[in-house]
Copies of this chain bind each other. A is one copy, B any other.
C-alpha cells in the first residue's frame, strides 16, 4: 500500500508540462514503500519515479534529502537523482502534496538475502559514506540515540502485552547502551534505513540505493551496524558471521573503519537493534489488528538485540 494520493490525469499533465522530459507514455502506482506515494512514470524520453510526500515527512526537510541525493549521485553513488523542472526546481507541488520526480533505477531488491549480496552491499554503503563527504548541510537523526528514551517511554506501559517482562528488559538494555554510546567516532551522512528493500541488484551487482528519507548526519559506523542487523541474520535469527565478514571487508576496501569504530561495533549494533525494536513496538501497539498493513514483529529485534548484548567485541562480527 504505497499510493495514498490519487493523481488525476489532468493534474499530472499540467505538472509534467513544467518539465522538459517529454510526453507521458505510462503511469502506474508502485506497491512498495510505506511512507510516501510512489508512481512509475514513463515519458517519451525515459523512465522516472514520481514521489508525493505524505504526512510523515517534514516538508522543511525535503530540500535536505533531495540535495543529498543530488550530491551523492554527482559523487559516484548510484541513487535516484532529482529531476529539475524548467525553472530549475526539483521540489514542487502536486495534488496538495510536495512532489518530486527522480530518475528510475533498474534492478530488483533481494527478497531473500544471500551471502553473495553482502559484499556488494558493504561496498555500496562505504561508497555512500565517501560520496556524502562534501555535502555541507546536516540533519539531526531524530531516530538516533537521543530519540530512543522517548520512544521507549511512549511504549513502556503496554510493552508487556507483547511479551511479559519486555519493558524491564528494554529499560535495562537501553540504559546500558546509552551509557556506552561512543561520543567521538567519525560523523557523516548516513542512510539509516538500508534494508534489503532499499537496495537494487542486477547481475549480482548493486544497481542502486533508494529511499533516503531517513537519512541523517550521524556516526558512519552506526550505518554499518544497521546493515549488520538488516542483512546478516538468518530467518531463524542466527547471526551469519560469513555474511558479516563479507559486508565489513568489502566496506573497508572502500572506507577503512578506525580501531575505535571497530571496537564500538557491539554497542552500535545494540543501538541499531533497539532503534528498530522500539519503532516496531510503537507501531505494533498502535496498529489495529484488522488493518491490512503488515505489522512487523518487534520481537525479531529483541532476538538480534540479545545477540549483540552477548557480543564480547568486534570479533563477534568476523573482524
Interface residues, chain A, CB within 8 Å of chain B? 1-3, 6-10, 12, 23-32, 40, 42, 104-112, 114, 200-203, 288, 290-293
Which B residues lie within 8 Å of A12 (CB)?
A: 108
- For this chain, the copies found in one complex come to 2
Contacts A24-B202, A42-B106 supplied; 8 other A-B pairs, CB < 8 Å? A1-B1, A9-B201, A10-B112, A23-B203, A24-B108, A26-B106, A30-B31, A291-B291
On whether the beta carbons of B26 and A28 are closer than 8 Å, the reply is no
Assess A26 versus B291: contact at CB under 8 Å? Given A1-B1, A9-B112, A40-B40.
Answer: no
12 residue pairs bridging A and B, Cβ less than 8 Å apart: A3-B32, A9-B108, A9-B109, A10-B111, A25-B107, A26-B104, A26-B105, A26-B107, A26-B108, A28-B40, A290-B290, A292-B293
| Minimum Cβ distance to chain B for residue A237 (Å) | 19
Partner of A288, one of B3, B27, B290: B290
Q: What is the CA–CA distance of A202 and B12 in the complex, to the nearest angstrom? A: 13
> Which residues of B lie under 8 Å from residue A200 when comparing CB positions?
26
Q: Is the CB of B26 within 8 A of A112?
A: no
> How far apart are the CA atoms of A35 and B76 in the complex, in Å?
42
Q: How far is the CA of A203 from the CA of B176 in the complex (A)?
A: 63
Nearest CB in chain B to that of A6: its residue? B111
A20–B40 Cα gap in the complex (Å)?
Answer: 25
Residues of B within 8 A of A10 (CB): 111-112, 114
Chain B residues in 8 Å Cβ range of A288 = 290
A28-B32, A202-B25 in contact; A110/B9 too (CB < 8 A)?
yes
Kindly identify which residue among B31, B112, B114 contacts A31, using a CB–CB cutoff of 8 Å: B31
A26 closest partner in B (C-beta): B106
Docked complex Cα distance between A31 and B200 (Å)? 19
- In the complex formed, the residue of B with least CB distance to A117 is B9
CB of B24 within 8 A of CB of A2, answer no
Residues on B with C-beta less than 8 A from A8 are 111-112
